Structure 1
């Protein structure tokens, strides 16, 4: 059974803790296209809400709006390349986060008050210092 429930721009923005101008901008750039009621007000349906959730999740993961536009465009010939590039970026950032976590845990457990003087800690940034 298909839901015919719709939400206003304010209600929809509140679902995602976004300012309403963000949803209006996403509409301006073609990422969401909500229907309009008789008074010309935006009405977001379940499909729009799912698209917004995809945008929110992918922005949080570092995708640009241009990349998300390609992701949501079922006919884009560049879709797979954009996705592969994003996966490579995620892998790179996850490795940086892993290193940062390891470095943070070392700093937490290290007895040196000035961690930059700890030889083991310096090893975490040796590649950047070189």
Structure 2
């Protein structure tokens, strides 16, 4: 059994973050007879899962849905996040290509370059 402070320190987050996760339904924590939060192994693992899902970009509502007991609901959220991340990767790759071209461009001004104009139209 761990206290909120111990779990916060172990995960590298502030205690108020864990309380917020509990408040929005992303984390379930038992209380002792005095009302103090008690983090058993299951609650700690759940908190680790929430943290990991947050770090890969899920919002708290998405985290809550992704941790749903209904596997189909959880999978739908994860699939949607994968699609969004893949789209972001494509967008960022295009940005890198454009910026790389601006470094290598032989034109003094970008608006004089037909390739730069093409990149701008595609955006």
The verdict on a shared fold, with TM-score over 0.5 as the criterion, is yes
Shift of 1:100: 3.7
Distance 2:9 2:110 in 1: 44
**SS at 1:79 equivalent:** helix
Gaps of 5+ in 1: 1-5
Higher helix proportion (structure 1 or 2): 2
Select which of 24, 28, 37 maps to 2:23. 28
Select which of 10, 29, 35 maps to 1:40. 35
Q: Look up the match of 2:79.
A: 84
Q: What is the root-mean-square deviation in Å for CA atoms of aligned residues? A: 2.9
CA contact (8 A) 1:70 1:76 kept: no
Distance 1:115 1:53 in 2: 50
Distance 1:116 1:45 in 2: 60
CA contact (8 A) 1:31 1:69 kept: yes
Shift of 1:23: 0.7
Shift of 1:88: 0.7
Q: Look up the match of 2:14.
A: 19
Structure 1 length-normalised TM? 0.70
Distance 2:10 2:104 in 1: 43
